Structures are given as structure tokens and as C-alpha cells.
A and B are shown apart, each in its own frame.
Chain A
Amino acid sequence: MNEFAAQHPLLVVALPKIVVLLFITLTALAYLTWFERKVVAHIQSRWGPYRVGPHGLLQPLADGVKFLFKEDVTPAGADKFAYFLAPFLALSLAITSIAVIPFGPKELTIFGQKTPLAITNLNIGLLVLFSITALGVYGVALAGWSSNSKYPLLGGLRSSAQMVSYELTLTMSVVGVILMAGTFNLSEIVNSQQGFHWGFVPRWNLIGSPMPQILGFLLFFTSAVAETNRAPFDLAEAESELVAGFHTEYASFKFAMFFMAEYASMITVSCLATILFFGGWLSPFPQTPFWAWTHYIPTAAFVIAGLALIANGVRYITMFGRLVLPVIGLALTGLGVLFAVPGVTDFVQGPFWFLLKILVFLFVYVWVRGTLPRFRYDQLMGFGWKLLLPLAILNVVITSLAIVVTQR
């Protein structure tokens, strides 16, 4: 098997990685809808999905089945080719971008082949991500145009103007990070953030030297929210004005594909924010003997979550919940115990911190949606061109000055 793997590294190493990552991503997408509905519901003092499965955990499955069995209507006079192309383009581009995200520092060994914990490790990883984002506009613009309907056209127009405007800020806001790291390679950007100020404050780019990228991060996250067409920048699908904007005329699974594309871009943006500004997979604690106990934080987190779920599950209203929730809790606890095994502990550190940071950003995404009102269209354009872009240029100038001064 090992010889076969050495001869066909693409087939044996890359293909399984792609399949596994795709499976994880699609499952994560489905449960992200559940997460968003739950969080928004609790922000608005509601319960959110509760009926389908314990705590509504089977809701994504029910939604998926419902989307599959809906009638797929094509509006009269629609441009067939573009109408079909748009959702495919949106979803495939959104999912492709996850291929360049590195999830951890350790190498994985599959049949004697060493491979990084990412599908590929590109020298121009960041640029590839931006080019995929640049092409992502077409999904929305084509959907709006090809539907042969008023509201989608307005939505498509709005969003293509918005995405072009905010893409500038998005790209400019990370220039500071690139200048400090000196590379486009995402793993190297993470590695450049190692080290600690005064022994305990992590040297992540957000608070890094020579120039903390706090401004850069705020610009990046704001324009990324606009780029993914999420509230409060979801002018392209403002339901109070445009019914549902660019995807008004889409039904069934084509609508679901737009939905999944939006959530996939949320995940990509969260990954990117973590990698660029928050040290990626790096632990927030120093790697000294004094801080050695922090290696058991993953174990503790999983065991506590598992035990809490068991305690909650045995008192759940339905019989089904009383059966399922403790089993999930038990699985989490078991994983936590597994993470305490010496060899596994080291391997788990990177992915654990990375996923935790991503989760924080996804929560912020939902939090922003739940609390901020939508922008007016002229405000949106003014905000992007007159405030964010000049600030992004300022950030580039200040960062380069700081680098030149400190390197002298």
C-alpha cells in the first residue's frame, strides 16, 4: 500500500483529504444554519428550532429534505443558461476557497505519505482566496439578471456595485499583515505570529509589532461582512424592499445552493480573520513548562461540554431526546478523554484553537446580524468609499512607515 501511495500521491493522499474536508464542510454548513437560528432566537428572546429532534438538532436535515422535494420552478423568459449557472458558480467558488486554508501545524501521515493539514499549501494562498472572492460576484449578478424579474435585477445590480466597492477595502486592509509577514503563504503568515510580548501576551498580528493591526482587522471584518452580503450589509436581499433580492425567483435546491454559498463564505472569512489577525492555530498561552497545563484545555472543554449535555439530556422532555442527547454527551466526553492521550494531545492543540477562534467569529457574524439595523444604500456606498477605503490606505502607509523605522 505504501508503495502504491508513493506512486500515486494525488489519488491516495489528496483525494481522501478532499472528500473528508468536503464532508466536514457541508455538515458544518448545515449546522451553521441551526447555530444561527438558535443564536438569533435567543437574542430576540425566542427558543428557535425546537421541534425536529432534541433542541432542534435534526432541523438542518429536515430543511435539506424539504429543499430537495420542492418544485423547481424556472420563471418564464429567464435566460436558462445563466439561470442554471449562477447557483453552481456561487456554491462551487465558495467551497473551493476552503481548499487553501491550513488547519494546523502538524503533518498528517497517510500510508507513509506526509502531508500538511490542508488540501494544498500554496505560496500565493491569500491571492488565490482573493481571486476566488473576486469571481464570486458573478453568482449574485447573474442570478439577478437571468431571472427576468424586477426585484432580482435590482438586487443583482446593488450587490455587484457593493461587492466591487468593498473588495477594494478588503484587499487593502490585509496589506499591513502581508507587509509584516513578508509572504502570501497562509501557513507562513501564521508562523510569523509566534512569540509573546512580556512573556504572556501573544504576538498575534492584531497586537503585533511593529504596528498593531487593530485598524486593519476592523476594516477587514467590516468589508468581509459586506462582501459576503450579510446583515447589516445585505442590501442585495433586503426583504423589506426587494422581496428576497437576487434569489427571489429561485426555488428548491437552487435556492439552497445560494444559501449554502453564503454560509461557506462566512466560514472562509472566519478562517481568514483567524489566520491573518489572530494567530491561526497558535495557542494563546506560551509553550513553557509553567503553562504546560494549558495543553489539557481541549480535554477539559470537551469533557465539561459532554457532561453538561448528559446532565441536560437525561431530563429532556421527549423520550428521543433522553436517548440521543446523553449519547452525544458521552461521545464528546470520550473525545475529551482521547485528547488527553500524550501523542494525541500535541496533534489536537492546533486544530482545537483554530476551530475555537473560527467559532468565535461565526458567533460575531450572527451577533451582528441579530443586533444591527440594515444600512441605507447611499449610506452603504458613502461608508465604503469615503470612510473605509481612505482608512485602509492610511493603515498601509502607517504600517510601512513603522516597518521602515523599526528595521533601521
Chain B
Amino acid sequence: MTAQMAVFLVLAAVAVAGAVSLILQRHPIHSALSLITVMVALACLYLLQGAEFVAAVQIIVYGGAIMVLFIFVIMLLNAGEEERTNLSTMARYLGVPLGIVFTIEVAYWVGRATLHLAPAPAEVVSTRDLSSLLFREYVLPFELTSFLILIALLGALVLARREETE
């Protein structure tokens, strides 16, 4: 086993453990912390693949900005612990088996699709190459996405604004 493989396994284990803990935790803040762990582990996985810029952006945007907003809102609303109830009859007899079937199906297809995968190129992708790809070849989808985000932002602003009473 190479050193890279070992690092990959550790990081993957951390990411999966974080994702499981995200669902199992009762307190929203603990769930958010687990999600941050997943994000950081994913960023490290990107770094392992030589995608330096993507790794840094993953931490700055997802680990930093977005998750801070999550935590901010949880703190602001002072959300309490989640209450657990027993499974309903519907969930017990229909939901659980269906969940298991879907899990197996997804695992099967992922396993099949990644069986004959070429190894990732070992060299580091420079930020310069990435940005020239983004701003030359894929400039239209890139600009469209940013436009979409802008529309979503404006929409959120309009919805959140208080009704003027006068």
C-alpha cells in the first residue's frame, strides 16, 4: 500500500464517519460541525488528486462561508435538540426495506461505473490552466451559472424584505 493510498483511506473514513455522524447527532450544531468535517476531508481528498485550487476554494467557500451561515442561523434561532420518535408503521414496513434496496442499488452502480477507471493524472493542475479553461472554453456556462445565482440572490432579497405599511 502506497502512502497516498493510506492517506486516501484515512480521509475517506473521516468523510464517511462525518457524514454518518451528521445524521445521527441530535443537536443541530453538532450536525453542522460534522458537515464541516466532511467538507474539510473532501478538500483534503481534492488536494491528494492535485487539484490545489479546488481544494482551497472548497474550504473557503463551503467550509468557511456557507457553514458559518448555517451555524449563525442555528445560533440565532437557538435551535434545540431534536426529538426522536419511534418509526411509524408506514416507515417500518415500507421505508426501511426501500432504503436498503436503494442503498444496494446505488452501491452496485457506483461499483460498476468505477471498476475500469483510469488512474487520475498525477501532475498538479495549475490555477492558471484552470482559470483559462473556465474563462475561455467554458465561459458561457460559467457566466450563466453566476447569472442564476444573482437571480436567486435578488429573489431571496425580495422575499425577505418587509412589506411597507405606508
Give chain A's interface residues, CB within 8 Å of chain B: 79, 81-82, 85, 122-124, 127-128, 130-131, 133-135, 137-138, 141-142, 144-146, 153, 156-157, 160-161, 163-164, 167, 171, 182, 184
The answer on a CB contact under 8 Å between B29 and A131 is: no
Decide: B68 and A131 in contact? CB cutoff 8 A: no
- Name the residue of chain B whose CB is nearest to the CB of A160: B72
For residue B19, CB closer than 8 A to chain A, the reply is: no
Question: Are B29 and A145 closer than 8 Å at their CB atoms?
Answer: yes
Q: Does B48 contact A (CB under 8 A)?
A: no
CA distance A291 to B72 in the complex (A): 55
Q: Which of B33, B52, B55, B56 contacts A82 (CB 8 A)?
A: B33
B132 at the interface (CB under 8 A from A): no
Closest to B33 in A: A82
State which of B58-66, B102-110, B114-122 sits at the interface with chain A: B58-66
Whether A137 contacts B29 by the Cβ 8 Å rule is no
Main secondary structure of the interface of A (DSSP, over half): helix
Residue pair A157, B75 in contact (C-beta under 8 Å): yes
Name A134's contact: one of B60, B76, B126 (CB within 8 Å): B60
* Contact residue among B40, B75, B124 (Cβ-Cβ distance under 8 Å from A160): B75
Asked if residues B72 and A130 are in contact (CB atoms below 8 Å), the reply is no
Contact A145 B56 (CB under 8 A): no
B69 within 8 A of A: yes
Q: Which residue of B lies closest to A164 (CB)?
A: B68
Residue of B nearest to A184 (CB): B127
Within 8 A of A (CB), among B24-59: 27, 29-30, 33, 36, 40, 43, 52-53, 55-57, 59
Chain B CB within 10 Å, residue with most, of A130, A131, A146, A156: A131
Given A79-B27, A82-B33, A130-B56: A141 and B75 interface contact (C-beta under 8 Å): yes
Provide the residues of chain B in CB contact with A171, threshold 8 Å: 60
B75: contacting residue among A134, A156, A184, CB under 8 A: A156
Please count how many residues in chain B sit with their CB below 8 Å of the partner chain's CB atoms.
27
- Residues in B neighbouring A123, C-beta threshold 8 A: 52, 124, 126-127
Q: Say what secondary structure dominates the interface of chain B.
A: helix
Residue pair B68, A141 in contact (C-beta under 8 Å):
yes
B residues near A (Cβ < 8 Å) are 27, 29-30, 33, 36, 40, 43, 52-53, 55-57, 59-60, 63-65, 68-69, 71-72, 75-76, 124, 126-128
Contact of B56 with A79 in the complex, beta carbons under 8 Å: no
Alpha-carbon separation in the docked complex, A128 to B69 (Å):
21
Q: Is the CB of B75 within 8 A of A144?
A: yes
| Nearest 6 A/B pairs, CB to CB | A134-B64, A127-B56, A131-B59, A124-B52, A134-B60, A131-B60
- Among residues of B, the one whose C-beta sits closest to the C-beta of A145 is B75
Chain B: minimal CB distance from A242 (Å): 15
Q: Which of A133, A141, A161 has the most chain B CB within a 10 Å cutoff?
A: A141
Q: Could you say which residues of chain A place their CB within 8 Å of the CB of B75?
A: 141, 144-145, 153, 156-157, 160
21 A-B residue pairings within 8 Å (CB atoms): A122-B52, A124-B56, A127-B57, A127-B60, A130-B56, A131-B59, A134-B59, A134-B60, A135-B64, A138-B71, A141-B72, A141-B75, A144-B75, A145-B29, A145-B75, A156-B75, A160-B71, A160-B75, A163-B68, A164-B69, A167-B64
Known: A82-B33, A164-B68. 6 other contacts (CB 8 A): A124-B56, A135-B63, A144-B75, A157-B75, A157-B76, A160-B71
Q: CB-CB < 8 A to A133: which residues of B? A: 64
- In contact, A138 and B36 (Cβ under 8 angstroms): yes
- What's the Cα separation between A171 and B56 when bound, in Å? 13
Contact yes or no, B29 A135, CB < 8 A: no
A81 touches B30 (CB 8 A): yes
Residues of B within 8 A of A135 (CB): 36, 40, 59, 63-64
Residues of B contacting A160 in the complex (Cβ-Cβ under 8 angstroms) = 68, 71-72, 75
- Would A141 and B71 count as touching, CB distance under 8 A? yes
